[in-house]
Amino acid sequence: MTHPKNHITKSICFSYPTSANAKELGMYESGCWHVSQIIHNIEGSGQANTYLPQGCEGFDDPAHPDLIALFNEYEGEPSQAFLLYGNPRALAALNLKG
């Protein structure tokens, strides 16, 4: 399937302790759940890039109400990988599966 230029998807992901994302989110020692966005087909190149959205926060619970609210606020549709393999508690909190 081809995506239009700059097609954006999102997911709730876990960043492990000591990872760059956990460090950026202030949860370097514990790791955290957060929203990630993926921009597909950047300027028609066929490449993709995953990033933390501006204002992203880290949480210790994948179904934390504030994390779910952020997910709903950020641009993009849920990624296929998230729908297939995402944390069951996060998916249930989003009414996507469960």
Q: Looking at the domain assignment, is residue 16 inside a domain?
A: yes
Which pLDDT score, from 0 to 100, does residue 31 have? Answer: 97
pLDDT per residue as tens digits for the range 52-88: 999 999 999 999 999 999 999 999 999 999 999 999 9
Q: Looking at the domain assignment, is residue 1 inside a domain?
A: no
DSSP, residue by residue, 38-68: EEESGGGSS-EEEEPPTT---BS-TT-HHHH
Which of 1, 89, 73 has the alpha carbon at shortest distance from 37? Answer: 73
Which pLDDT score, from 0 to 100, does residue 46 have? Answer: 77
Q: Looking at the domain assignment, is residue 98 inside a domain?
A: no
Q: pTM score, two decimals?
A: 0.87
- Domain range for 63: 7-93
Q: Looking at the domain assignment, is residue 32 inside a domain?
A: yes
Q: Looking at the domain assignment, is residue 89 inside a domain?
A: yes
How many structural domains comprise the chain? 1
Which pLDDT score, from 0 to 100, does residue 44 have? Answer: 74
Q: Looking at the domain assignment, is residue 2 inside a domain?
A: no
